[in-house]
Amino acid sequence: MVILTGNLGLEIIRLLEEISLEHTIIACTRSGAVIKENTPQEEAAIVRRSYTQVRQVSVKPI
């Protein structure tokens, strides 16, 4: 497992979003997941079925 912090993690998310806007980016650990707050509710529900704890956060552009 690799833990990314701060700007490096945000830069990776930005690059992944440039590759395809049709994917949901999920940052996860053994105990939970983090998704962007603008994730569609249907997709957020799928994530919630896979992780006991899910937090939605706002991600500001770099």
How does pLDDT run across 1-35, given as a tens digit for each residue? 455 566 776 777 777 777 766 777 788 877 888 88
Q: Is residue 41 part of a domain?
A: yes
Q: Tell me what pLDDT residue 4 has.
A: 59
Q: Is residue 16 part of a domain?
A: yes
Q: Is residue 33 part of a domain?
A: yes
12 vs 51, higher pLDDT? 51
Q: Is residue 49 over pLDDT 70?
A: yes
Q: What is the DSSP letter of 19?
A: H
Do 45 and 54 touch, CB atoms closer than 8 A?
Answer: no
Q: Is residue 1 part of a domain?
A: no
Instruction: Say whether 21 sits in a helix, a strand or coil.
Output: coil
Domain count, the chain: 1
Q: Is residue 18 part of a domain?
A: yes
Q: Is residue 62 part of a domain?
A: no
Q: Tell me what pLDDT residue 44 has.
A: 92
CA–chain centroid gap for 35, Å, is 3
Query: What's the domain range around 38?
Result: 6-57
Q: Tell me what pLDDT residue 61 has.
A: 60
Q: Is residue 19 part of a domain?
A: yes
19 exposure class (CB count in 10 Å sphere: 0-12, 13-18, 19+)? exposed
